[in-house]
Structure 1
Amino acid sequence: MSHTQSFHINTMYPAQINYHGRSFAATLGSLTPEGALLETYGLTLPSGMEVELSVTIAREPWLIKALITHTTPHEIGLMFKHSQHKLFSVARNDCTLAFRPPIQRKPEATLLR
Protein backbone atom coordinates (compact mmCIF):
# COMPACT_ATOMS: atom_id res chain seq x y z
CA MET A 1 0.00 0.00 0.00
CA SER A 2 1.46 3.37 -0.95
CA HIS A 3 0.67 6.59 0.80
CA THR A 4 0.55 9.85 -1.14
CA GLN A 5 0.89 13.04 0.82
CA SER A 6 -1.58 15.72 -0.18
CA PHE A 7 -0.41 19.31 -0.14
CA HIS A 8 -2.68 22.33 -0.02
CA ILE A 9 -2.28 26.06 0.31
CA ASN A 10 -4.67 28.46 1.97
CA THR A 11 -5.54 31.48 -0.14
CA MET A 12 -7.96 34.38 -0.19
CA TYR A 13 -8.37 34.98 -3.94
CA PRO A 14 -11.65 36.42 -5.21
CA ALA A 15 -13.25 33.86 -7.52
CA GLN A 16 -16.43 33.11 -9.41
CA ILE A 17 -18.35 29.89 -9.87
CA ASN A 18 -19.96 29.69 -13.29
CA TYR A 19 -23.01 27.41 -13.32
CA HIS A 20 -25.69 27.17 -16.03
CA GLY A 21 -24.83 30.58 -17.48
CA ARG A 22 -24.79 32.37 -14.13
CA SER A 23 -21.81 33.58 -12.09
CA PHE A 24 -21.66 33.46 -8.31
CA ALA A 25 -19.08 35.27 -6.16
CA ALA A 26 -16.82 33.18 -3.94
CA THR A 27 -13.42 33.23 -2.29
CA LEU A 28 -10.84 30.58 -3.11
CA GLY A 29 -10.02 29.41 0.41
CA SER A 30 -7.91 26.27 -0.04
CA LEU A 31 -6.23 24.83 -3.13
CA THR A 32 -4.61 21.54 -4.15
CA PRO A 33 -3.63 20.42 -7.66
CA GLU A 34 -6.78 18.24 -7.64
CA GLY A 35 -9.39 20.60 -6.25
CA ALA A 36 -10.40 23.59 -4.19
CA LEU A 37 -12.53 24.70 -1.29
CA LEU A 38 -14.48 27.88 -1.95
CA GLU A 39 -16.01 30.12 0.67
CA THR A 40 -19.46 31.17 -0.47
CA TYR A 41 -22.09 33.56 0.77
CA GLY A 42 -25.24 31.54 1.37
CA LEU A 43 -24.91 29.72 -1.96
CA THR A 44 -25.66 26.02 -2.27
CA LEU A 45 -25.40 24.15 -5.55
CA PRO A 46 -26.11 20.45 -6.15
CA SER A 47 -23.27 18.00 -5.53
CA GLY A 48 -22.09 16.20 -8.66
CA MET A 49 -22.82 19.13 -10.97
CA GLU A 50 -20.18 20.48 -13.36
CA VAL A 51 -19.13 24.10 -12.87
CA GLU A 52 -16.33 26.37 -14.00
CA LEU A 53 -14.06 28.07 -11.51
CA SER A 54 -12.91 31.50 -12.63
CA VAL A 55 -10.02 33.06 -10.71
CA THR A 56 -7.11 35.39 -11.41
CA ILE A 57 -3.80 34.65 -9.70
CA ALA A 58 -0.65 36.69 -10.27
CA ARG A 59 -2.49 38.61 -13.01
CA GLU A 60 -3.14 35.36 -14.88
CA PRO A 61 -6.80 34.42 -15.47
CA TRP A 62 -7.83 30.79 -15.03
CA LEU A 63 -11.05 29.05 -16.10
CA ILE A 64 -11.18 25.48 -14.79
CA LYS A 65 -13.87 22.82 -15.20
CA ALA A 66 -14.71 21.06 -11.96
CA LEU A 67 -17.29 18.89 -10.23
CA ILE A 68 -18.97 19.92 -7.00
CA THR A 69 -18.05 17.34 -4.34
CA HIS A 70 -19.99 18.85 -1.43
CA THR A 71 -21.79 22.01 -0.37
CA THR A 72 -22.76 23.75 2.85
CA PRO A 73 -24.34 27.20 3.19
CA HIS A 74 -20.81 28.62 3.55
CA GLU A 75 -18.54 26.53 1.31
CA ILE A 76 -18.37 24.47 -1.83
CA GLY A 77 -15.82 21.72 -2.46
CA LEU A 78 -14.60 21.22 -6.03
CA MET A 79 -12.69 18.42 -7.72
CA PHE A 80 -11.01 19.57 -10.93
CA LYS A 81 -11.75 17.53 -14.07
CA HIS A 82 -7.99 17.61 -14.79
CA SER A 83 -5.19 18.14 -12.27
CA GLN A 84 -4.04 21.75 -12.12
CA HIS A 85 -0.37 21.53 -11.13
CA LYS A 86 0.51 24.77 -12.94
CA LEU A 87 -2.29 26.68 -11.17
CA PHE A 88 -1.14 25.26 -7.83
CA SER A 89 2.46 26.28 -8.55
CA VAL A 90 1.48 29.81 -9.61
CA ALA A 91 -0.68 30.24 -6.49
CA ARG A 92 2.02 28.85 -4.19
CA ASN A 93 4.61 31.22 -5.66
CA ASP A 94 2.20 34.18 -5.50
CA CYS A 95 1.38 33.46 -1.85
CA THR A 96 5.07 33.14 -1.02
CA LEU A 97 5.76 36.53 -2.59
CA ALA A 98 2.81 38.14 -0.84
CA PHE A 99 3.97 37.05 2.61
CA ARG A 100 7.66 37.90 2.31
CA PRO A 101 8.77 40.53 4.78
CA PRO A 102 9.75 43.85 3.23
CA ILE A 103 13.42 44.31 2.43
CA GLN A 104 15.06 46.35 5.15
CA ARG A 105 17.77 48.74 4.10
CA LYS A 106 20.93 48.86 6.13
CA PRO A 107 21.52 52.25 7.73
CA GLU A 108 24.17 54.21 5.92
CA ALA A 109 27.44 54.69 7.74
CA THR A 110 28.05 58.14 9.12
CA LEU A 111 31.51 59.57 8.61
CA LEU A 112 33.00 61.21 11.67
CA ARG A 113 35.37 64.13 11.13
Structure 2
Amino acid sequence: MSQATRWFARPYVAAESLDELRGPTRGTLTLPRRLDWGPRRPFDLNNDRHLVIMYETVLNEARQIEDVRQYINKQILVRLWDRLTLPPDVRRLWEERIPELRKRSAA
Protein backbone atom coordinates (compact mmCIF):
# COMPACT_ATOMS: atom_id res chain seq x y z
CA MET A 1 0.00 0.00 0.00
CA SER A 2 1.42 3.40 -0.92
CA GLN A 3 1.97 6.14 1.62
CA ALA A 4 -0.70 8.24 -0.09
CA THR A 5 -3.23 5.44 0.27
CA ARG A 6 -2.45 5.00 3.97
CA TRP A 7 -2.78 8.74 4.54
CA PHE A 8 -6.45 8.59 3.60
CA ALA A 9 -7.31 5.28 5.29
CA ARG A 10 -10.14 5.48 7.82
CA PRO A 11 -9.23 4.75 11.44
CA TYR A 12 -11.34 1.66 12.10
CA VAL A 13 -11.45 0.07 15.56
CA ALA A 14 -11.96 -3.56 16.56
CA ALA A 15 -12.20 -5.47 19.79
CA GLU A 16 -9.32 -7.64 20.95
CA SER A 17 -11.68 -10.48 21.92
CA LEU A 18 -15.31 -11.45 21.69
CA ASP A 19 -15.63 -11.22 25.47
CA GLU A 20 -15.43 -7.41 25.24
CA LEU A 21 -18.65 -7.27 23.23
CA ARG A 22 -21.55 -7.00 25.63
CA GLY A 23 -24.05 -5.01 23.61
CA PRO A 24 -27.80 -5.41 23.99
CA THR A 25 -29.68 -8.40 22.62
CA ARG A 26 -33.31 -7.29 23.06
CA GLY A 27 -35.48 -4.27 22.71
CA THR A 28 -34.95 -1.27 20.49
CA LEU A 29 -32.24 1.34 20.38
CA THR A 30 -31.31 4.44 18.45
CA LEU A 31 -27.64 4.97 17.72
CA PRO A 32 -26.07 8.32 18.59
CA ARG A 33 -25.42 10.82 15.80
CA ARG A 34 -21.67 10.17 15.89
CA LEU A 35 -22.40 6.65 14.57
CA ASP A 36 -25.59 7.07 12.55
CA TRP A 37 -25.98 10.56 11.13
CA GLY A 38 -28.88 9.67 8.82
CA PRO A 39 -32.56 9.90 9.71
CA ARG A 40 -33.16 9.00 13.35
CA ARG A 41 -34.50 5.46 13.48
CA PRO A 42 -34.88 2.92 16.22
CA PHE A 43 -33.38 -0.50 15.53
CA ASP A 44 -35.49 -3.48 16.60
CA LEU A 45 -32.98 -5.97 18.02
CA ASN A 46 -35.43 -8.82 17.43
CA ASN A 47 -35.31 -8.17 13.67
CA ASP A 48 -32.25 -9.60 11.84
CA ARG A 49 -32.58 -7.03 9.05
CA HIS A 50 -32.36 -4.21 11.58
CA LEU A 51 -29.46 -5.94 13.33
CA VAL A 52 -27.47 -6.28 10.10
CA ILE A 53 -27.88 -2.58 9.32
CA MET A 54 -27.05 -1.55 12.88
CA TYR A 55 -23.96 -3.79 13.09
CA GLU A 56 -22.68 -2.63 9.70
CA THR A 57 -23.16 0.97 10.82
CA VAL A 58 -21.36 0.55 14.14
CA LEU A 59 -18.46 -1.47 12.70
CA ASN A 60 -17.98 1.07 9.90
CA GLU A 61 -18.43 4.26 11.90
CA ALA A 62 -17.10 3.62 15.41
CA ARG A 63 -13.85 5.46 16.10
CA GLN A 64 -13.69 4.54 19.78
CA ILE A 65 -13.68 1.01 21.11
CA GLU A 66 -16.23 2.00 23.77
CA ASP A 67 -18.89 2.38 21.05
CA VAL A 68 -18.15 -1.12 19.76
CA ARG A 69 -18.31 -2.58 23.26
CA GLN A 70 -21.57 -0.78 24.02
CA TYR A 71 -23.53 -1.69 20.87
CA ILE A 72 -22.09 -4.99 19.56
CA ASN A 73 -22.93 -8.31 21.20
CA LYS A 74 -20.56 -11.25 20.76
CA GLN A 75 -23.19 -13.92 20.06
CA ILE A 76 -25.03 -11.74 17.56
CA LEU A 77 -21.80 -10.70 15.83
CA VAL A 78 -20.74 -14.32 15.34
CA ARG A 79 -24.20 -15.26 14.05
CA LEU A 80 -24.38 -12.36 11.59
CA TRP A 81 -20.71 -12.12 10.56
CA ASP A 82 -21.09 -13.76 7.14
CA ARG A 83 -24.11 -11.61 6.33
CA LEU A 84 -22.47 -8.25 7.07
CA THR A 85 -21.37 -6.12 4.14
CA LEU A 86 -18.17 -4.50 5.35
CA PRO A 87 -15.23 -2.75 3.70
CA PRO A 88 -12.33 -5.18 3.22
CA ASP A 89 -10.20 -3.25 5.75
CA VAL A 90 -12.85 -3.61 8.45
CA ARG A 91 -13.37 -7.32 7.81
CA ARG A 92 -9.62 -7.97 7.75
CA LEU A 93 -9.03 -6.04 11.00
CA TRP A 94 -11.75 -7.93 12.85
CA GLU A 95 -10.71 -11.33 11.50
CA GLU A 96 -7.06 -10.69 12.40
CA ARG A 97 -7.97 -9.79 15.97
CA ILE A 98 -10.69 -12.42 16.44
CA PRO A 99 -9.75 -15.65 14.65
CA GLU A 100 -13.17 -17.19 15.43
CA LEU A 101 -14.66 -14.83 12.86
CA ARG A 102 -12.14 -15.80 10.18
CA LYS A 103 -12.84 -19.48 10.77
CA ARG A 104 -16.54 -18.76 10.45
CA SER A 105 -16.02 -17.00 7.10
CA ALA A 106 -13.92 -19.89 5.77
CA ALA A 107 -16.51 -22.52 6.74
TM-score (norm: length of structure 1): 0.24
Which of the pair has the greater relative contact order for Cα pairs under 8 Å at 6+ separation?
2
Greater share of helix: 2
TM-score (norm: length of structure 2): 0.25
Which protein shows a greater Rg?
1
